[in-house]
A and B are shown apart, each in its own frame.
Chain A
Amino acid sequence: MSTAATEEITLTRKDFISDQTVRWCPGCGDYSILAQMQRILPETGVPKEKTVFISGIGCSSRFPYYMNTYGIHSIHGRAPALATGLAIANPELSIWVITGDGDGLSIGGNHLLHAIRRNVNLNIVLFNNRIYGLTKGQYSPTSRPGTVTKSSPMGSVEQPLNPIAVALAAEATFVARSIDSHPQHLAAILERTAEHQGASFLEVYQNCVIFNPNEWTELSDRRNRDDSILYLEHGKHMIFGKNRDKGIRLNGFTPEVVSLDEVDLDEILVHDATSRPLASILGSMEFPDYPAAMGVIRDVRKPDYGGEMMAQVETAQAQRGAGDLNQLYLAADLWTVEEREEAEEREITPVASDLDEMPITGLDEEYIDEMEKPAEALSEFQDLLVTSTLAALEPNVPITVGKRSSLARTIRQMNRHNIGCVLVTDEEDRLIGIFTEWDVLNRVAGIVDDMAQQRISDYMTPEPLALKADLPIAQALNLMSLHGFRHLPLVDEGGSPSGIISFRDVVGYLNEALEEE
């Protein structure tokens, strides 16, 4: 472990992106969770080769393929069991368990409970879309009563599980909740999940755009979400609302939503992530009766399973020596299984193939309609985001410099053209780097004495992200939001710079296009 600290490796989001084709449906919330995971992992400082993602089965469980780390796409519901073994065998690893509401709470409910109860050093992330996505839309153990699906055509009659309450029942030492559509919140909570020692349990509300697209609308609608979400912060009053005018207070044992105009601040609950009873109260607050509690609900420190168990092994070894597996085998009662005559071949009755041809009867038209309810119609604006290409922005001709240019010349160019960034190209005019005002501030001003003697290739950001002009505007916004970019270079098929776009161009285009209509 001392070696990791001596050499400083700076990883970026790109380092965690694998070469696998992502097979999620366009628009699936899993994309957002993946992007935030890839964004925060470099910040945790854990090397890629010490990171493992283990999943079960489901759309969510495809996650390990897309992470450029070690990964196991394991057996349905069994990821916590595999992960427990790995955590004990190699305590140096940072292990993430990725599961879904079906994988983690139906078939794998039992394994999940025990990994949490044992406080195994794992980061468990449960993607809750309240549906089985992979098998095309059956109700799950978190589906609300009345949910109409293919397997519950008249509406589910089952009491759903509340994942937070389940984790607390297993005395989880870290319990948190976030949502795919709030990337900043999600990133912050993923980081907290990674930091905690012992079993960390994070539930992420996730949108299945195909089979359950209306599940989280109230919580993800950017205009009203702050009226529906209680953002928890340890030591802070539980105040919420777009105008921060509502709070939570206790009336006996029952929490209630009050208006801050009518109630004094000292009556409002203060969040304490170390309080077990408070965690239960927060876990029991179900939307829409209450705002959905988001953030870290519980965070306490207890010895983790691997550490405790290995300490016992060490004590035993100190007292009685290293031990010998063979001796252990031979120590107990032994017997030999006699070889038998070959078992007679049993006749296997083939499964009736005519099952396939059985007509489906008894399904009312009404239920079928209900199941095939279309998702909300796209607004004109949403439509523009995905149908207009970057070429429609009429991108500016990019200003480029060759990679052998000096810093002095490059900066003169930028000032002459009054631009904030230049693209750097190689001999064949391919884009190999980008150099911006921030680089000047960060690496040049007051640091470099003789700018004429320095090559731009030593100061640029190599291999910049670039897009092709036939991609939708939404793709550019995606990168701008993830990385905080203001500009994005465009390249042609051969990798040569063909343009540069800024957010200003996007705003201008969207406003004009919508006025014309």
Chain B
Amino acid sequence: MSLQSDLKTELVSHLAVSDFTQVVAGTPVRDTLARMRADRQVVCLVVDEDAADESGRRQLVGIFTERDVMRRVIDAAGTLDRPVDEVMTPDPITIGPDASAADALRLMDEIHVRNLPVVDEDGELMGNMTHQAIIQYLADRYPVEVLNRPLDPEQFPRKAEGG
């Protein structure tokens, strides 16, 4: 069985996807960074208040990540006080909770992204799909091989000796 075929039967909604910070469009970059630090999150989803639907759900308009901090904030003087909209990636590609983990992984590879916001059919933001969800899946799926190892590999006992 290959990794892809194993992940085919696993839905994104069954994975432990990551959390994210959320700000409304127009929030200054400085405040966005402060929020991300407080939440200890490397990803911030930007939503638009004006484009809320009938039930008040706000629409996802962009994504701002640690990558954008490197590429568009750290070296560009003055960006800190600009709205986050100017440095985010607009209209990020998203994935539905019913997509398979295999598809999510393939998509991340094809379009070279680390983050796929998970959005259900009602437009609800459910999490952020990353490689970490797959790593966690593999650890849980193969606990004997992956989880149950000592931190220091040099300490690994040579043989099973029971206690």
State the A residues within 8 Å of B (CB): 13-14, 17, 20-32, 35, 38, 58-59, 62, 133-137, 180-184, 207, 209-211, 220, 222-223, 226, 242, 379-382, 385-386, 411, 414-415, 420, 436-438, 440-442, 444-446, 467-468, 471, 474-475, 477-481, 484, 486, 503-504, 507, 510-511, 514-515
Please tell me if B134 contacts chain A, counting CB pairs below 8 Å. Answer: yes
Please tell me if B52 contacts chain A, counting CB pairs below 8 Å. Answer: no
The interface centre, meaning the residue of B37, B138, B155 with most chain A CB atoms within 10 A of its CB, is B138
Contact present for B163 and A62 (CB under 8 Å): yes
In Å, the complex CA distance between A211 and B75 comes to 59
In Å, the complex CA distance between A46 and B113 comes to 39
The 3 A-B pairs with the shortest beta carbon distances in the complex, nearest first, are A25-B160, A481-B139, A514-B2
Contact present for A477 and B138 (CB under 8 Å): yes
A211 cross-chain contacts in B, Cβ below 8 A: 162
Contact present for B132 and A26 (CB under 8 Å): no
A414 cross-chain contacts in B, Cβ below 8 A: 70
Please tell me if B157 contacts chain A, counting CB pairs below 8 Å. Answer: yes
In Å, the complex CA distance between A47 and B123 comes to 45
Contact present for A180 and B146 (CB under 8 Å): no
In Å, the complex CA distance between A380 and B1 comes to 7
Q: List 25 A-B contacts (CB under 8 A).
A: A21-B157, A25-B160, A26-B157, A27-B144, A31-B148, A38-B151, A133-B163, A136-B162, A222-B141, A223-B141, A242-B14, A382-B142, A411-B75, A437-B70, A440-B66, A440-B70, A441-B66, A445-B73, A475-B153, A477-B135, A478-B147, A479-B151, A481-B135, A481-B139, A511-B4
Say how far A98's CB is from chain B's closest CB, in angstroms: 13
Q: A-facing mask of B18-50, CB < 8 A → 1, else 0?
A: 000000000001100110110000100000000
A210 closest partner in B (C-beta): B160
Say how far A517's CB is from chain B's closest CB, in angstroms: 9
A62 closest partner in B (C-beta): B163
B146 cross-chain contacts in A, Cβ below 8 A: 385, 474, 477-478, 481
State the B residues within 8 Å of A (CB): 1-4, 6, 9-10, 14, 16, 29-30, 33-34, 36-37, 42, 66-67, 69-71, 73-75, 80, 105, 109, 114, 131-132, 134-153, 155-157, 160-163
A385 cross-chain contacts in B, Cβ below 8 A: 142, 145-146
B34 cross-chain contacts in A, Cβ below 8 A: 446
Interface residue SS majority, chain B: helix
A182 cross-chain contacts in B, Cβ below 8 A: 140
A28 cross-chain contacts in B, Cβ below 8 A: 148
Contact present for A386 and B145 (CB under 8 Å): yes
Contact present for A474 and B160 (CB under 8 Å): no
A21 cross-chain contacts in B, Cβ below 8 A: 155, 157
Say how far A190's CB is from chain B's closest CB, in angstroms: 15
In Å, the complex CA distance between A514 and B6 comes to 12
Say how far A448's CB is from chain B's closest CB, in angstroms: 10
Contact present for A23 and B163 (CB under 8 Å): yes
In Å, the complex CA distance between A379 and B5 comes to 13
Say how far A371's CB is from chain B's closest CB, in angstroms: 15
A14 cross-chain contacts in B, Cβ below 8 A: 151
Say how far B134's CB is from chain A's closest CB, in angstroms: 7
In Å, the complex CA distance between A265 and B151 comes to 45
A180 cross-chain contacts in B, Cβ below 8 A: 143, 147-148
Q: Say yes or no: A510-B3 contact (C-beta < 8 A), given A481-B138, A503-B135.
A: yes
B148 cross-chain contacts in A, Cβ below 8 A: 26-32, 180, 207, 209
A477 cross-chain contacts in B, Cβ below 8 A: 135, 138-139, 146
Contact among B3, B69, B162 with A59 in the assembled complex (CB-CB below 8 Å): B162
Contact present for A134 and B163 (CB under 8 Å): yes
A382 cross-chain contacts in B, Cβ below 8 A: 142, 144-145
In Å, the complex CA distance between A441 and B34 comes to 9
B130 closest partner in A (C-beta): A486
In Å, the complex CA distance between A386 and B156 comes to 13
B109 cross-chain contacts in A, Cβ below 8 A: 504, 507
Q: Say yes or no: A223-B9 contact (C-beta < 8 A), given A31-B147, A445-B33, A474-B149.
A: yes
In Å, the complex CA distance between A385 and B16 comes to 21
In Å, the complex CA distance between A503 and B36 comes to 23
B132 closest partner in A (C-beta): A484
Contact present for B105 and A415 (CB under 8 Å): no
Contact present for B66 and A23 (CB under 8 Å): no
Contact among A420, A438, A441, A471 with B153 in the assembled complex (CB-CB below 8 Å): A471
Contact present for B132 and A486 (CB under 8 Å): yes
Contact present for A25 and B161 (CB under 8 Å): yes
> Apart from A21-B155, A385-B145, what 10 extra A-B contacts exist at CB < 8 Å?
A25-B161, A181-B140, A181-B147, A184-B16, A437-B66, A438-B42, A441-B33, A446-B34, A474-B145, A478-B147
Contact present for B147 and A481 (CB under 8 Å): yes
